[in-house]
Amino acid sequence: MAIIGGVRPSVGSESPPVPASAPRHDRDLQRTFRLLLATVWLMDAALQLQPFFFISGKNGFSGMLQGTAAGNPFWIYHSITWNASVVAHHAVVTNTVFAAIQFLIAFGIAWRRTERVALALSIVWSVGVWWFGESLGGVFNGAATPLGGGPGAVLFYALLAVLLWPSEGPNTPFVAARTIGAGAARVVWLAVWLLLALLAVVGHGRSPQFLHDIVVNLDSGAQPGWLSRLDRWTEAVLLHNGTKVAVLFAVFCVVVAASVYLHPKATQVILAVAIGVFAFVWVGIENVGGILAGGATDPNSGPVVILFILTYWPLTAALTASSSREGRGAVVADADASGDGSKGV
């Protein structure tokens, strides 16, 4: 046996095999977004337990429902007032049932075994709430401007239930494409944002006085001082420049609608701006849904629109870069392993 460098190699001294790296499991972002949707439903359920919901009359929940009927066609008006009458006569029972259903939806979405049933229930319940609780989002009485929460936050609950329906597959090119496919998801995105653009300038949407009054009506005086000061500024801007704001917002929605057909990096920039815009709308116009002042029935449209935007966040570029780095790391590791194995030959 040859001796190299004065050292006799042991028999069968070969470099130990390098263990194969464990398979990489990407985070299930669809599941993460479903849990966020469940959290919003949980907020709705908790808000439904406020004392005034259990009171009959104009100062209770039935009075709030009755007030949303004005300005609608007769058949819509009649259906909403009928529902308000039922709630007025059975305030405690009906509101208890309403809150229980929303708790069931929230916890049902969070639990894997019941998530499909809960999502299906949330779609049906959302349509009912949109009709009887939100007066069809103000679409038929000219009050459906997205700056005020139109065409109804609960419609986004239903839409997200469809887009986040449990399905196998990658997160790319964006999470919303996982269930219905990238092409169909882009069409949905385009339709939603073009609708928001239209609603921003039709009906009362471009009326400075109407936009001003949205903020005034939500400012109950019971909210924090910083929010009241922001309201004063927002009210002044909308009263003097409401039409310009509505038109600019509509143009912005058109740009956002087209963003999913652009390069992923450009899409990310536009979506980041859209998140910032709707975060400001939620705080500066929707008054955080009225939660801080009390009496809110839901967080309004801001949070669910932002969640909707996040489901379309482009992920292809990030994953490609990550895969490239991992590939380079694997090559270096193999090279090191080969070098260690050749020592002592």
Give tens-digit pLDDT for 241-283.
889 999 999 999 999 999 999 999 999 999 999 999 999 999 9
What percentage of the chain exceeds 70 in pLDDT?
A: 82
pLDDT number for residue 120: 97
Q: How far apart (Å, rounded) are the C-alpha atoms in residues 127 and 211?
A: 26
> What's the chain's average pLDDT?
84
Whether pLDDT at 318 is above 50 = no
Q: Which secondary structure element, helix H or strand E, spans residue 45, and what is its range?
A: helix 29-47
> Residue 220: its pLDDT value, please?
62
Classify residue 113 as exposed, middle or buried by CB count within 10 Å of its CB (0-12, 13-18, 19+). Answer: exposed
- pLDDT tens, position by position, 122-145: 999 999 999 998 888 888 888 889
Residue 157: predicted pLDDT: 97
Please tell me the distance from the alpha carbon of residue 39 to that of residue 43, in angstroms, as a whole number: 6
Reply yes or no on whether the pLDDT at 341 is more than 60: no
Is a pLDDT exceeding 60 seen at residue 6? no
**Mean pLDDT, range 45-72, rounded to an integer:** 84
Phi-psi region of 287 (alpha: psi -120 to 50; beta: other; left: phi over 0): left
Residue 322 has pLDDT above 50, yes or no: no
pLDDT value at residue 298 = 83
Q: What is the rounded distance in angstroms from the CA atom of residue 326 to the CA atom of residue 304?
A: 35
